[in-house]
Amino acid sequence: MQESVFATGIPFAKVPARQRLPFARVMGNLMPRVAGIRRFGAAALDLAWVAAGRYEGYWEFGIKPWDCAAGILIVREAGGQVTDPAGLDLDDMPDDVMIVAGNGNMHSKLLDIVAESLKETP
């Protein structure tokens, strides 16, 4: 995992603090374990790059289904996994999607870190 690069979407100023804190906990727990974390700014492109092998994984909280639906399909078709932070399938997406995606080797590791981080959130 220490040679892996991950992607995410960083919450902006108007995102409520209750949504920024979980993100910050994941980032803080993941950063010392990986080679890097990148932010491009487009969920579908980040997911496509997971499918292409440029990133080993991606997570983001509070995105819209239309921002990630195509990327989810691309990751799945490439053999990767995409779930919510509880490991559940995203076939019925809520209005604000919490997503964890990864290649076959990294999805479960990223999912564990995300789940661990969310448990720390008061």
**What CA–CA distance (Å, rounded) separates 22 from 41?**
19
Q: What is the pLDDT of residue 122?
A: 60
What DSSP state is assigned to residue 100?
A: E
Does the pLDDT at position 9 exceed 70?
Answer: yes
Residues in the chain: 122
**What CA–CA distance (Å, rounded) separates 4 from 29?**
14
pLDDT tens-digit series, residues 52-101: 999 999 999 988 999 999 999 999 999 999 999 999 998 888 888 999 99
The reply to whether CATH 3.90.1300.10 applies to domain 5-120 is: no
Q: What whole-number percentage of the chain has pLDDT above 70?
A: 98
What are the contacts of 42-45 at 24+ separation with CB within 8 A?
42/67, 43/9, 43/67, 43/68, 43/71, 43/99, 44/68, 44/70, 44/71, 44/74, 45/71
Does the pLDDT at position 121 exceed 70?
Answer: no
